[in-house]
Structure 1
Amino acid sequence: MFSTLLFIFGALITFVISQECVPYSSPYDFSSGYPTIWETPTSDDFNTDEFQQVYNSIDWSQVPDIEPHQVVNGGLDRSNYPDSDPDCWWTYEQCSAPKAPGLQPDITICPEPETWGLTYDDGPNCTHNAFYDFLSENNQKATMFFIGSNVADWPNEAQRALTDGHQICVHTWSHPYMTSLSNEGVLAELYYARKAIKYVCGVTPLCWRPPYGDVDDRVRAIAQQLNLATIIWNLDTNDWDMEPVGSETPDQIDANFQSFVNMGQNGTFANSGCIVLEHEINNGTMSKAIEWYPKIKSAYQYVVPIATCMNITQPYAETNYTYPSFSEYTGTD
């Protein structure tokens, strides 16, 4: 048995979970037809007949000729990039309105006023049962950005998200800086993550979020030809950087949440809503999500997944999955 201890408003709550994070056998075989789990796809993955068919389906004349960026000391090198930001590189100055023709703008806000767009990156997490129980008990749906390698490692946990009614989107196969990859690398990260979700959950997502927000017009163009809308955020809790994994204290993360709650109370989002970056990356981030949820619900009129706030009722390529519109979800018909 595995127990998760959470302090919520001074009360100790114990969630007892069976066999969490213990590898298990499943009918899903990722030993062939996929890159190595948690490794960036390589030329071996590019040279298969399957991938070549996908590669040849892309109209590469519609993909801007942009050189990949270099990763230096764990981050992207911006030193020689033009101040004019010709490639709408989000990492440079958070550009979300593409400059290349024919590309759809990134989704960065919920158009509905006083609305918190609820999103969680980096799942499925093998310890998320208590967190998903909490969401279910509150009849709360969210948008989950799943890493393909996590889906391969934890297929039952991925399936629970769909069963519970959450929206599933792609968050790449191995969580790289996407603008640092070749065209083949970008395509493989998106394609194999989407394929893993389809294999395990039976749905083909129509949305994705770039790790670290790292996207430019070249990457957007490839994603768009895979029918993947790019979703970013306009508020970042920075929960991923919380101690002991990261460098920020829990108090600093609390201050971020509190400032966003204040925005919900002071009219900042009176005309349109926000999309907030949170993570199910570990028990610390999920505990913070649970702790702050009541205050978020109190400060914002609506807390909804991104499909709902964008009035997307069919968030997958498969038409047998229909989600409620904003008015249906919120009861504002």
Structure 2
Amino acid sequence: MLLIPIGLAVVVVVPVAVRAKADFSAWTPSTVTAPNGAKNLVGNTAWTAWFKNGNQDLRRQAQPEITRCTGPTSNVWGASFDDGPAEGTPVLLDYFDKKNLQATFWVIGAHVAKRPELLLRAYQSGHQIGIHTWTHPRLREISDDEIIAELVYSARAVYAVIGVYPKYFRPPYGNVDDRVRNLAALVGMTSVLWSKDSQDWQNTHSASLNTVVPSNFRTWLSSGSMLDISLQHDLEQDEGQVAVTAMNMLLDAGRVIKPLSECIGDDTPYDNPILSRFFEASGLYTDRWGTNDFEFDRNALSSATSTAIASISATSFNTATATATQTLVVAADAVVKTETKSSTGGSVVVTSWLIMLLVLLF
């Protein structure tokens, strides 16, 4: 609590929940047009060098692709959806909310920037969020620098909205090889594919969509398929609608729908200290507000600050790398506001400068 005299009155400032919203209009990654007409992100050699040459204490070898669930029971089914947040996402979120179930959403960074509210809703509903790159390229066909940029920018977009760094990614089209896997490992990520393709992507906006997808699920279930991870999409509304039919078929057949982390027994799907270190060490993202409600707790702030300082001290950028890394523009200037109450019961809005004053005074 802080007493601020204003004339003859005294305003009692009571910090409550802080809400900030990522402003994606403040940053847009640069793209180049490839010979095939695709729009690819501009890579950054210094970033790639930083990931390749640092983090020896955190690095681990590239893991094999994950394509199936492992349990905890044999009737688990890993439902997953690519390409959102988009038109089909609300359909699925409404359905899963009613059923009190969770799945995995593999999100495209550029789509997160357009529909951040859907990503936030999915995360708050308990769904697992994974990376699906920024522009949805064929990763085997682009450079090391571009692959790193695709993963970093998309992870940055996710963090701006929900405040976590995923450690799993799904390569678009399943287009992956050892080079891609090794580069992803440098960024702290593991590739996840699927064991069952619904083929919804081949039949979008076609009457055959409502025949092909249920038929595929019916065939799999009648053959006793277990522990599968299925590929579906939430880009279009009709993909979301047919997915509801497929999910009901799974439930009717006794399958238990789970997000990836639960079906492979990983309770830390957002434990990615390499990405955290990258942004902290570069000094490009220092606020801790995110877009979630955050109780104004000076102890939490002190802990976060200490962690950031320790990480920066432990991780060195040489001058060239630091300069190049500054080309990453971030949405750290998000507007932060909070409600405060006066001694007479009225309310005033305290803008970000006053919040900073409170931090200093606390």
Q: TM-score range by the shorter chain?
A: 0.5 to 0.7
Q: Post-superposition shift, 1:240?
A: 1.2
What does residue 96 of structure 1 align with?
none
- Which AA in structure 1 matches 2:210? P
Matched, 1:286 2:240: yes
What does residue 203 of structure 1 align with?
164
Q: Distance in 1 between matches of 2:260 and 2:68?
A: 9
What does residue 34 of structure 1 align with?
29
What does residue 192 of structure 1 align with?
153
Give TM-score, length-normalised by structure 1: 0.67
Unaligned 5+ residue runs, structure 2?
1-20, 33-37, 55-59, 274-362
- Which AA in structure 1 matches 2:24? D
Matched, 1:224 2:167: no
Matched, 1:110 2:69: yes
Q: Distance in 2 between matches of 1:128 and 1:139?
A: 16
Which structure has the larger Rg? 2
- Which AA in structure 1 matches 2:248? P
What does residue 57 of structure 1 align with?
50
Q: Say which SS state the counterpart of residue 144 (structure 1) adopts.
A: strand
- Which AA in structure 1 matches 2:220? F
Q: Which of 143, 146, 149 is the aligned partner of 2:104? A: 143
Q: Which of 279, 287, 302 is the aligned partner of 2:256? A: 302
What does residue 216 of structure 2 align with?
256
Q: Post-superposition shift, 1:318?
A: 7.2
What does residue 162 of structure 1 align with?
123
What does residue 296 of structure 2 align with?
none
The structure where helix makes up a greater share of residues is 2
Q: Which of 130, 135, 149 is the aligned partner of 1:174? A: 135
What does residue 97 of structure 1 align with?
none
What does residue 121 of structure 1 align with?
82
What does residue 68 of structure 1 align with?
none
Q: Distance in 1 between matches of 2:246 and 2:92?
A: 13
Preserved contact between residue 46 and residue 188 of structure 1 (Cα < 8 Å): yes
* Paired residues, number: 241
In the TM superposition, what whole-angstrom CA distance separates every residue of 1:91-137 from its partner, at most 9, and x where no partner exists?
xxxxxxxxxx9431110110122221111111111453232111111
Preserved contact between residue 206 and residue 317 of structure 1 (Cα < 8 Å): yes
Structure having greater relative contact order (Cα 8 Å, sep ≥ 6): 2
What does residue 133 of structure 1 align with?
94
Q: Distance in 1 between matches of 2:198 and 2:145?
A: 32
What does residue 277 of structure 1 align with?
231
- Which AA in structure 1 matches 2:217? F
CA 1:202–1:173 in 2, change beyond 3 Å: closer, same or farther?
Answer: same
Preserved contact between residue 234 and residue 274 of structure 1 (Cα < 8 Å): yes
Unaligned 5+ residue runs, structure 1?
1-25, 62-100, 320-333
- Which AA in structure 2 matches 1:257? F
Q: Distance in 2 between matches of 1:173 and 1:126?
A: 18
- Which AA in structure 2 matches 1:46? N
